[in-house]
A = this chain, B = another copy of it.
Amino acid sequence: MKRNNAQPHAFSCYIRGHKRAISEGFLMPWQRPLKSLMTILTLAICFYIPLFLWTLWLNYDELKQSWQNQGSIAIFIESTVDLKETGIFLQEIKDLPIVESASVLNSDAIKNQLSKDEQLSQIISLITAHDLPRQISVSVFAETTADEIEVFINNLSINPQVEYISYDKQWLSQLKALTNTLLQIARISAFMFILIVMVILANTIANEITDHKNELRLLELIGASWAQVRRSFLYMGTFFGIYAGIIAVIFIAISFRWLKDTINSLVQNFGIDITLHGLSFQQIALVIIISLLITWLAARLSLSSQMLNQVQD
């Protein structure tokens, strides 16, 4: 019963099928340009929101490190210790792995430091100069954790040369609390946003697929395998992902441009030195690849649910 159908070779069929699917998947969004634009914008927004949060987080991380540095440690030296001994002690401290820098301050320097505070300076100017003890001021490396600092201080405080150690415990604990809160909020919003993005993304892609329901059904009926049926729709999803990823990156660039000036003026007021960073080239590439994978996956999932839902007719 077979006629001279000249059934083509399997591999060349496969390649041919993919080529066709790519060009079809590419053309599909252009059949209804306005609708596709809306879909792409929606997807772009879906990618934009978590991307924005992520970029902010990257910036905050950097900021946090510079803040941690500000809590320097003051070691008050016993008045019995002379200047030479102090010098040796300073060198010992400098050699410790967590210490970035250390220096001896005399009482004038301390007063000078105190007088930077507007309210205190008035008081200080009214106080007759008085002997303050010698003091070593220590800065630790940015990576140092609060626990490491705790250990460092405990070790020093048993040293007989040390009268008292003061460090801004409060600053560090406040910073920790702030970081924890932001982390918690970031976690909650990441969770929420992933939910949101999933719902909207699935809905958007599913709508796009449902629009082609009859087409899917017909392809099945004229004998296309399920892989053939869905192929061009998967490519369509991929193209949507690429477009949406690009637009999301553009959105990020625009909103960081906007934010930069605002943040800069704020930061100057607080005397912190940071600059807002956008996305690097690698990060942009990563974003587009991820968005492409996500839409591909979403298309795949809603295609299989479409297959399961297929009513008999």
Show the binding face of A for B, using Cβ within 8 Å: 35, 38-39, 41-42, 45, 49, 74, 76, 110, 114, 118-120, 122-123, 126-128, 130, 132-133, 164, 166, 168-170, 173-174, 177-178, 180-181, 184-185, 188, 192, 196, 199-200, 202-204, 206-207, 210-211, 255, 258-259, 262-263, 265-266, 269-270
Contacts and interface: CB of A to CB of B under 8 A. Distances in A.
A195 to B, nearest CB: 8
Contact of A130 (B128, B164, B168, B255): B128
A122 B185 contact: no
B130 A174 contact: no
B41 A199 contact: yes
Contacts of A185: 259, 262
A174 B122 contact: no
A188 B255 contact: yes
Contacts of A126: 130, 132-133
A53 B274 CA distance: 26
Copies in the complex: 2
Nearest to A173: B269
A119 B166 CA distance: 6
A39 B210 CA distance: 14
Contacts of A180: 262, 265-266
A39 to B, nearest CB: 7
A98 to B, nearest CB: 20
B206 A38 contact: yes
B122 A76 contact: yes
Given A132-B123, A255-B188, A170 B38 contact: no
Given A35-B206, A114-B120, A181-B265, 8 more contacts: A38-B206, A74-B119, A122-B164, A126-B133, A127-B130, A174-B270, A181-B266, A200-B200
A275 B313 CA distance: 60
Contact of A178 (B169, B184, B266): B266
Given A38-B199, A203-B39, A119 B168 contact: yes
Nearest to A119: B166
A255 B192 contact: yes
Given A114-B123, A127-B127, A45 B166 contact: no
B265 A118 contact: no
26 contacts: A35-B206, A35-B210, A38-B199, A38-B202, A39-B203, A42-B199, A42-B203, A45-B196, A45-B200, A114-B123, A118-B166, A119-B166, A127-B130, A128-B130, A173-B269, A174-B269, A174-B270, A177-B265, A177-B266, A178-B266, A180-B266, A181-B265, A181-B266, A184-B262, A185-B259, A203-B204
